[in-house]
Amino acid sequence: MDNASISVGFALLYLWTEFDFVFCKPQDERLVRCAEQRSTVFKSVNIELDQSVAENRTNACRVIALLSETQQRSLSKVRVKFIGENPYFYGGQEFLTALSGLFGSGGAGQLTVVDLSGMRVSINDELLDVLSANERRVERMYVENGVLVSRVTPACLLRVVRSCRRLTDLRVFGSSVSDDVLLAFTSSDRAPLRRLSMLCRREQKYGGDISGETWATLRDKLPDLRVTLKFDHTCPPDTVAAILKPEVPVSALRIETFTYIQEEVRRAANHYDDTLEVLVLLTPIERGTSALNDALLQLSSRCRQLRALHVFCVLDTSTIATILASHPVMEHNKTYTLRSERGQQPWTPGDMRSFGDAQLL
């Protein structure tokens, strides 16, 4: 074989290292054969499916099973994303079983990225225990998804943190995080946590509150840590206020609410003036109050690191002009949603379409 043929062979092999499986229609079943033939060379696999169709779910789980059965696989990154609507009363047990097989199979130990943030299934302790016991090289783990009930307990997450000592990027529900979980990241014999994202919802009020002392310890031990806090419309306002402690190194903040939001904005301006980079606010109030306009102006003047601001509420034109003049980088990069008229898009808490690109926190 000449050098040209060898080069072409290596190039073709490289093309197979990253592969997207998209199951939306019956003929997509042919992609399963790609997994049968090329599973040993896959390094990054992205599985997207319209989960409302049973055949799509079957094909996606077949791919995961084939990856599990591959003895000498190279897989380091796996992502599963639902792009349809869940059937009524769908629990997703078939995906939990398939992923448990993948994480616990004989070829385990190579995964560095596990992204289940787009899989609208209640991830449980059992699945993460299998993951943490076998995939200890994981660096990025995303299990914050769009389900209504989080089934990952703080005790389980603590086991994950203690086992996966290379973990640097974690995105979970706030109810899964405790003081012990955060303090486990301060151990000197592990990679430093750099990104933590927490989605806080109604169940947050039933769990223990993370103390300001714990956050201060984490911030001192991990000076490069950046925290994203997200509050959906079910999280009570007093719970939001309790979580927004000054010790938290918040770089991104998203708040959905059916009520007034100016106090939260003022709290963010006072607490996170040195760290806040991204702010997303959504309220169905037709026109922002003068108090909200004033609070946003205060935040704009204090938070000099701000690079993205998305406010889904009608604001005064003078407020918009002042904010953009103070942060020209936002106007240059078009990383803002600031409007004096409502427009056509749905601005409703709980409707993820409301955010568009602003979801990328």
Q: What is the pLDDT of residues 170-209, one digit of tens each?
A: 999 999 999 999 999 999 999 999 999 999 988 887 777 8
pTM: 0.91
pLDDT band per the 50, 70, 90 thresholds, residue 6: very low
Q: Which residue has the higher pLDDT, 152 or 355?
A: 152
Domain ranges of the chain: 66-85+102-359
Q: What is the pLDDT of residues 53-94, one digit of tens each?
A: 999 999 999 999 999 998 888 899 999 999 999 999 899 999
pLDDT for position 184: 98
Its CATH class, for the domain covering 66-85+102-359, is: alpha beta
Is the predicted pLDDT of residue 247 greater than 60, yes or no?
yes
Is residue 100 over pLDDT 50?
yes
For residue 228, the model assigns a pLDDT of 97
Q: Where are the alpha helices (DSSP H) in the chain?
A: 3-15, 31-38, 54-69, 93-103, 125-134, 154-163, 179-184, 212-221, 237-243, 262-271, 290-302, 317-326, 328-333
pLDDT of residue 106: 63
Average pLDDT over residues 298-307: 96
The pLDDT value recorded for residue 206 is 76
The whole-chain average pLDDT of the chain stands at 89
- DSSP result, 14-60: HHTSEEEEEESSGGGGGHHHHHHHHTTT-SEEEEEE-TTSHHHHHHH
The 10s digit of each residue's pLDDT in 154-164 is 999 999 999 99
Is the pLDDT at 350 greater than 70? The verdict is no
Residue 5's pLDDT band, with cuts at 50, 70 and 90, is: very low
